[in-house]
Chain A
Amino acid sequence: MTAAQRRLTRELIAATIARRLEHGWLVNLGVGMPTLVSSYVHPEQDLTFTSENGVIGYAGLAHDGEMDQDIVNAGVQPVTLHPGAAIVHHADSFALVRRGMNDVTVLGAYEVATDGSFANWRTSREPFDQLGGIGGAMDLAARCKQVWIAMDHTTREGSPRLLERCTLPVTAPKGVTLVVTDVAVIAVRDGRFVLEEHAPGFTAEEIQSMTGAPLEVSQTLREIQI
Chain B
Amino acid sequence: MRQPIVCATMAEAVADVPDDITLLVPGFGPGMPFNLLTALFEQGAKGLTTVSNGVGGAPATDGRKGVGDFVAAGRVKKVIAAFTAPTHPSQGSVVVDMVRAGTLEAELVPQGTLAERVRAGGAGIPAFYTPASVGTLLAEGKEHREFDGETYVMERAIFAEYAFVRAWKADTAGNLVFRMAARNFNPVFAMGAEHVIVEVEQPIVPAGEIPPDQVHTPGIYIERLVQIPPDGYFTSGRMPATSAAPERGSR
Task: Name A's B-contacting residues (CB within 8 A).
Answer: 31, 51-55, 64-65, 67-72, 76, 78, 87-91, 93-95, 97-98, 122-124, 128-140, 142-143, 169-174
The answer to whether B236 and A69 touch across the interface, beta carbons within 8 angstroms, is yes
Q: What's the Cα separation between A128 and B84 when bound, in Å? A: 12
B96 close to A131 (CB less than 8 A): yes
Flag if B108 contacts A132 (CB, 8 Å). Answer: yes
Closest 6 CB pairs of A and B: A94-B112, A139-B112, A76-B29, A173-B135, A70-B180, A136-B111
Q: Please tell me which one of the listed residues A95, A131, A136, A171 contacts residue B82 in the complex, with CB atoms under 8 A apart.
A: A136
| Complex Cα spacing A52 to B99, Å | 27
Of the candidates B89, B96, B181, B244, which one forms a contact with A72 in the assembled complex, judged by CB atoms under 8 Å apart?
Answer: B181
Q: Does B131 contact A (CB under 8 A)?
A: yes
Give Cα A99 to B239, complex, Å: 33
Q: Which residues of chain A have C-beta atoms less than 8 A from B2's C-beta?
A: none
Given contacts A71-B180, A89-B188, A130-B108, 14 further A-B contacts (CB under 8 A): A76-B28, A90-B185, A91-B115, A93-B112, A129-B99, A130-B99, A131-B108, A134-B111, A135-B83, A135-B110, A138-B113, A170-B136, A173-B134, A173-B136
23 A–B contacts, CB within 8 A, in A order: A54-B181, A67-B245, A69-B30, A69-B238, A70-B31, A78-B239, A78-B243, A89-B178, A90-B28, A95-B116, A98-B112, A98-B131, A132-B83, A133-B87, A134-B108, A135-B82, A135-B83, A138-B110, A138-B133, A142-B130, A169-B137, A170-B136, A171-B136
Chain B neighbourhood of A138, CB < 8 A: 110, 112-113, 132-133, 136, 138
Contact of A133 with B137 in the complex, beta carbons under 8 Å: no
Q: B17 interface residue, CB < 8 Å from A? A: no
When C-beta atoms are compared, the residue in chain B nearest to A65 turns out to be: B243
* B100→A129 contact, CB < 8 A: yes
List the A side residues contacting B83 at CB < 8 Å: 132-135
* A131: B residues at CB distance < 8 A: 84-85, 95-96, 99, 106, 108
Q: Which residues of chain B come closer than 8 Å to A135, judged between CB atoms?
A: 82-83, 110-111
- Contact residues in B for A97 (Cβ distance below 8 Å): 112
CB pair A53–B95 under 8 Å, yes or no, is no
Closest to B180 in A: A70
Residue B9, interface by CB 8 Å: no
Query: With a CB–CB cut-off of 8 A, which chain A residues contact B108?
Result: 130-132, 134
